């Protein structure tokens, strides 16, 4: 990260603890711009990784499932972790952008990280709304510039989350950040084609490679179980 993810001005390193503009936590070290936007090293590293996957060469960059699978294979991504609330919308944003969707990738990725960081772990079981599905709503809000005061796109954002929750709720639990993230990007890509006319590419089948790492894997009940 050489430029501020918020305002694009140049940044310098600081050891002074400050409130991160992305995760909201007081942290150090990190980088700060002339406007005072501080971004902690964890958030800067994550955003850099997301943008690296988004801007990589290859026909599969139009495929949010392929982008998501690549992100899940990064060595510091745990089996289950709230970071999936960011990975799902980030993969969608990258594929949408590469498929001709009108969005500023850099600014959009900043918003995906900033909003996704605020969705805590366990919302699937404790709030009745999986964080990856909320990520579909975050993605939809970012690409349509929606706020709580918007009219038609307000509905689209909530319908995107609802569509994902409907599909994953029907499958049942327990939680799996891989299963719900794959479901989210697949369901949302189809939703975007239907409502916004932007066609991302999708694989014929999704095969999860993480089952052996997941003690609660629902195996044959999961549409992506392949071992």
User: Starting from the edge strand earliest in sequence, which strands make up the sheet with 38-40, in order?
Assistant: 11-14, 30-33, 38-40
Contact 138, 115 (CB under 8 A): yes
* Minimum distance from residue 157 beta carbon to Zn ion (Å): 24
If binding means CB under 5 A, how many residues of this protein chain bind Zn ion? 11
Q: Does 86 bind Zn ion (CB under 5 A)?
A: no
Q: Among residues 91, 93, 87, which one has the least CA distance to residue 66?
A: 91
Q: Does 1 bind Zn ion (CB under 5 A)?
A: no
Closest to Zn ion by CB, 22 or 109: 22
Q: Which of 20, 130, 165, 183 binds Zn ion (CB under 5 A)?
A: 20
Query: Within 26-65, which residues bind Zn ion (CB under 5 A)?
Result: 33, 35, 37, 40, 43
Closest to Zn ion by CB, 37 or 178: 37
Closest to Zn ion by CB, 7 or 105: 7
Instruction: Specify the pairing of strand 26-27 against strand 38-40.
Output: unpaired
Q: Does 4 bind Zn ion (CB under 5 A)?
A: yes
Closest to Zn ion by CB, 45 or 56: 45
Contact 5, 44 (CB under 8 A): yes
Indicate the length of the chain as a whole number.
227
Phi, psi of 107 (to 5 degrees): -70, -40
């Amino acid at each position: 990260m050489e430029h501020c993810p918020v305002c694009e001005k140049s940044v310098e390193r600081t050891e002074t603890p400050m409130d991160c503009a992305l995760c909201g936590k007081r942290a150090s070290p990190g980088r700060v711009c002339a406007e005072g936007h501080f971004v902690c090293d964890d958030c800067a590293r994550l955003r850099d990784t997301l943008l690296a996957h988004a801007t990589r060469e290859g026909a599969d960059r139009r495929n949010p499932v392929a982008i998501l699978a690549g992100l899940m294979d990064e060595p510091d991504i745990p089996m289950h972790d709230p970071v999936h609330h960011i990975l799902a919308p980030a993969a969608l944003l990258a594929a949408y952008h590469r498929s001709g969707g009108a969005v500023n990738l850099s600014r959009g990725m900043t918003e995906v990280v900033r909003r996704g960081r605020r969705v805590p772990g366990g919302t699937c079981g404790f709030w009745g709304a999986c964080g990856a599905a909320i990520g579909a709503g975050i993605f939809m809000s970012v690409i349509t510039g929606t706020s709580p005061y918007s009219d038609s796109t307000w509905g689209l954002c909530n319908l995107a989350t609802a569509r994902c929750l409907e599909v994953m709720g029907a499958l049942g639990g327990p939680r799996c950040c891989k299963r719900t993230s794959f479901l989210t990007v697949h369901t949302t890509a189809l939703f975007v084609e239907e409502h916004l006319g932007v066609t991302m590419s999708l694989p014929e089948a999704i095969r999860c490679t993480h089952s052996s790492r997941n003690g609660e894997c629902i195996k044959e009940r999961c549409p992506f179980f392949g071992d």
